[in-house]
Chains A and B, each alone.
Chain A
C-alpha cells in the first residue's frame, strides 16, 4: 500500500506492507537514526515526532500516518547538535544507541514544558530507557541544556 505523509518537512509517499510499523518503514527509507530496542513498546529508542509530539514509531502502523507530519532527528540536526554538546560535555552518552530517541524526547519537552521541575523532567523522560549511562549524566546534561536553551 501507499501512504502519503510528510517527513522532516518534505512530502513523501511510503510504500509498505499492510501491518508494517513506522519504525521499520522509516529505516527502509534511510532514516537510520530510528533505532528499535524492544518488541513491547517499552524502551523509547524509536521515538520520533508525530505532528510535533513524541511518539513510539515501533507501535505506530505506517498506514496510520497518512496525511500526518513525521519528524526524525535527521530533520532536527541543528537543534540536536546543540543538545549533543551538553551530552558530550557531561560524558552522558555511552553506546549512543538510545541517544537519538532520547534527544527527540528532550527536544519535544523543551517545546512543551517551561521551567520544568526535576520531577516533571523525570516523568516526561520516563519512557526512554538507557542501559549504559545510569541516567544521572543524561539528567545533568539535559538540565544544563534547559537552563541555556529552555
Chain B
C-alpha cells in the first residue's frame, strides 16, 4: 500500500497552523452585512402576551425586526438527519411560547452590532409566566406541559406531548424476566450522566446574501449542509434550487453543528430584506442557546452465573431532551443499540424508556450520541458485577464480549464480522501494568492510585439509511479532482478520502485535489455524523476511483487502438502491445478534437451494516483522600477501528476523544439554577480540560479487517469518547471503595462519600 495505513500529514494541516483563511468568518468579509442579534426569553416557561417593537423598528440603522407576529408559523425540526427525519416537528422560527431560558423572542438586524443590541433593549415584552418543568425525573405526567400542541412526526417515535414524552422506546431480545430467574447472581444499579457542552472552539455562525441569479446564498459552519438546505427550504417556503450553500472548514463541531441552530436567522433576514446579513453566536449563546449532550438516568440489571457468564443485560433509561426533540428518539435508541451487542452472548437483553421534554436548553447530537451515556451505565455495572463475583474485570470482559461470528439483534447486519476487542484488552492491560498494579497502589497515607477499565463500541455510518456519493474528474494534464461532501471539521475527511482515491488510482496524493464545500457542485452526502466519513464516503470514493480506472483503460484502448485486456495501468502510463500513453497525454488528447471526451466517474455507497469499532480504556487515577481530588495520571486507550487508514488522523481522534471523555468524567457539567437559567455559560463556569488537566494519554491500535470497510477500515470519530467516565469511576472505586454513580466525579462527591463511609 502506498498511502493506506501510513502516517500522512493532513492535506491542509500546514496552512491551518499558519493561520491561512479557512473558516466561515474568514470568507465572510462583507463589512456591509446586517448584523443579527436575538432577544431571548428570561423565563424557562412563558407565553408572550404582548410584544411591542415600535421603538426598535423606528431606530435608525435597524433594517428588520422579526417576532412570532410577522414570521411563518410552520413547524419543523432542526435535526441534521436524512429525510424523513425521525425527530418531532416541534419548533417554529419564532413562537409566542417560550420553552427555555434563551428561547428566541425576537430577531433584530441592523447596520452594526451596537445598533442591533440597542434596538433589542427597546423591545417591550409582556409575559405570562408559567410553571416550568425542570426535573428529568418528574417530567413524565407532570401537570405542566412543555408542548401543549401535538407535534407532527414522520414515524411513530412514541411521542406523547400530553405526558411530556418526546419519544418512547422498548426492545427486548429474548425473555429477560424468565432468564433472570435462572441466574445465580443479579445486580441492579442506578446511574446518572450529565448534560455536556460541545465547546467547539469556533462558535456557531452563518451568513446570507442574495446572488446575481436571485438565489439565497448561505455560508455556514455546519456538519450537515444538505440537511440545512432542506430545512431552510421548508422554513422559508422556497424551493431548494433557490438556495446555495457554502460550507467552509469548521472550527470543530462534535455533533453540535449537526443541528441547524443558527442558519435560519440570517436566511430569513436576507430573504426578506434582500440585504446580506450574518450572525455570529457569542460563547454565551453557544453554551446556552444551542444544544448539549442529553442528560440521562439509568437502571441497569445484570444477571450472571457463578462463573461470571452474563445471561441478562437489562437497561431502562430516561433522557432529557429539553425544550425541543431534535435527536431525542435517535440518541435514545442508539444508547441501547450501541451497548447491548457488546455482551451479545447473553441469553436476553432489553433496553427501554423515554426521552422527555423539559424547560431546558434542547439536547442534541454530541460525539458518542447516547452510546457514551449508555457505556457509563453498562460498564460501571459490569465493574460492580466483577467485584461482587470477585473476578478480575478484564477477565469478565474477555469471557463475555461479543466475538467475530457472534450475532445480536442490535447489530446491523446481525453478524459481527470483525473485532480485535480481545487484543485491545490484552494490550491495554500490558500498557497500563494491570497485572502488577490493579486494583490500587498506595503512594502515601493520603494518596492512592486506583486502576479501572471499560470497553465500548460504536457504529460506522447509519445502516440502511445514509448514502453518499463521490465524483472523480480527470483534469487536462492528468490530475484528478475528488468531489465529495463529507464535512471536514478537523477529523481530516478531505485527507483520508484523497488517500483512498490516490491509493486506488496509484498516483501521488498531490495529483488529487479536493472540492467539498459548495452544494451546487458536490454530490449528496448526509454530512459529518454517525462516524460515517471514512466508512460511507470512503467506500463511495473507492467505487469512484475504480470506475475512473475503468474509464482510463477504455479511453487508452480507443486512443491506442489496443484491446483493453492487453493494457495495463500503472498510475503514470497505460501500456500494452508495445504502445504506451501517459495520463498527461491521455488527458490532453481528451481536450482535443481527436480525443473529444472528459473522464468523470462516480461511486455511491450506502451500508446495510454499520460495523462497530471497539476500544478498551484503562485509567490510572490518583485520589487525594484528604480533599477528594481525582487526577487522571495515565489513560491507556487501545482501539480497533479496523484498518487504520491514517495513523496521524486516527491517533488525534483517539487522544482528543479520551480528553473529552475525561472532561465528562471529572469536570464538565451543564448546570441550571433553581429557576431554570443555565449557570455554566462561559469557559469560566464550564470547565473543559485544559492542558494542566491532561497528564498522559497513551494510545495504540489493534487492527482487524472489516470486510465491508474501505481497505478493511471502520470508524473512529465517536467511539473515542466513551470509556473514560466508567474507567475513571472504576479506578476511583479501587482507590477508595466508593462507587460514584453520577457524573461528573467531583472532589465534593468523593469527599462526602469518604466521610459518610
Which residues of A does B touch, CB under 8 Å?
Answer: 17, 27-28, 30, 32-35, 37-40, 42-43, 45, 72-74, 77, 80-81, 83-85, 87-100, 103, 122, 125-126, 128-139
Contacts and interface: CB of A to CB of B under 8 A. Distances in A.
Given A90-B648, A95-B200, A98-B201, 9 more contacts: A37-B202, A45-B201, A81-B18, A84-B18, A85-B14, A91-B651, A94-B491, A100-B19, A136-B696
The 3 closest A-B pairs by CB, nearest first: A33-B19, A91-B648, A97-B251
Contacts of B683: 38, 40, 42-43, 129
14 contacts: A17-B114, A27-B25, A33-B20, A35-B251, A38-B283, A40-B683, A84-B17, A88-B9, A89-B7, A95-B249, A98-B201, A126-B692, A130-B691, A134-B657
Contacts of A130: 201, 691
Nearest to B197: A131
Contacts of A99: 16-17, 19
A35 B656 contact: no
Given A40-B684, A43-B683, A95-B202, A32 B21 contact: yes
Contacts of A92: 652
Contacts of A35: 23, 201-202, 251
Contacts of B682: 38-40, 42
B647 interface: yes
A33 B282 CA distance: 19
Interface string B645-674: 011110110011111100000000000000
A16 B647 CA distance: 46
A32 B251 CA distance: 14
Given A87-B13, A96-B490, A80 B18 contact: yes
Interface in B154-205: 198-203
Contacts of B657: 134
B19 A125 contact: no
A122 to B, nearest CB: 6
B108 interface: no
Contact of B19 (A73, A95, A129, A138): A73
Given A32-B21, A39-B682, A84-B18, A96 B13 contact: yes
B273 interface: no
B694 A91 contact: no
A16 to B, nearest CB: 13
B489 interface: yes
Given A88-B13, A88-B648, A99-B17, A94 B684 contact: no
A91 B9 contact: yes
B23 A39 contact: no
Given A132-B490, A137-B655, A95 B251 contact: yes
A42 B18 contact: no
Q: Could you say which of B199, B649, B691 has the most chain A C-beta atoms within 10 Å of its C-beta?
A: B691
Q: Could you say which of A34, A73, A99, A139 has the most chain B C-beta atoms within 10 Å of its C-beta?
A: A99
B202 A97 contact: yes
A132 B489 CA distance: 10
B489 A89 contact: no
A84 B656 contact: no
A133 B9 CA distance: 15
B146 to A, nearest CB: 29
B interface residue count range (under 10 / 10 to 19 / 20 to 34 / 35 or more): 35 or more
Interface in B1-32: 7, 9-10, 12-23, 25-26, 29, 31
A27 B29 CA distance: 9
A81 B19 CA distance: 10
Contacts, number: 181
Contacts of A80: 17-19
Contacts of A126: 690-692
B12 to A, nearest CB: 8
B124 interface: no
Contacts of B745: none
A70 to B, nearest CB: 14
A96 B251 contact: yes
A17 B111 CA distance: 14
B201 A97 contact: yes
Contacts of B14: 81, 84-85, 88
Contact of B490 (A73, A85, A95, A139): A95
B143 interface: no
B18 A95 contact: no
Interface string B72-96: 0000000000000000000000000
Given A43-B683, A73-B19, A103-B17, A94 B691 contact: no
Interface of B: 7, 9-10, 12-23, 25-26, 29, 31, 114, 198-203, 249-254, 282-284, 489-492, 646-649, 651-652, 655-660, 682-684, 688-692, 694, 696-697
Q: Could you say which of A89, A96, A99 has the most chain B C-beta atoms within 10 Å of its C-beta?
A: A96
Q: Could you say which of A37, A125, A138 has the most chain B C-beta atoms within 10 Å of its C-beta?
A: A37
B711 to A, nearest CB: 19
A100 B18 contact: yes
Contacts of A97: 23, 200-202, 251-252, 490
Contacts of B649: 91
A134 B697 contact: yes
Contacts of B18: 33, 73, 77, 80-81, 84, 100, 103
B283 A37 contact: yes
A29 B14 CA distance: 23
A54 to B, nearest CB: 15
Contacts of A72: 19
Contacts of A42: 682-684
Contacts of B12: 96
B32 to A, nearest CB: 13
Contacts of B19: 32-34, 72-74, 80, 99-100, 103
A89 to B, nearest CB: 7
B547 to A, nearest CB: 31
B652 A137 contact: yes
A100 B490 contact: no
A126 B21 CA distance: 25
A7 B283 CA distance: 28
Contacts of B659: 133-136
B17 A95 contact: no
Contacts of A136: 655, 659, 694, 696-697
Nearest to B692: A126
B5 to A, nearest CB: 14
Given A40-B683, A95-B250, A84 B201 contact: no
Contacts of B696: 136
Contacts of A98: 201
A90 B656 CA distance: 13
A44 to B, nearest CB: 10
Contacts of B23: 35, 97
A6 B200 CA distance: 32
Given A95-B252, A137-B655, A131 B688 contact: yes
B284 A131 contact: no
A133 B13 CA distance: 13
A7 to B, nearest CB: 14
A139 B73 CA distance: 51
A131 B662 CA distance: 12
A81 B254 CA distance: 28
A132 B10 CA distance: 15
Nearest to A28: B31
A76 B200 CA distance: 26
Q: Could you say which of A98, A99, A132, A135 has the most chain B C-beta atoms within 10 Å of its C-beta?
A: A132
A99 B691 CA distance: 14
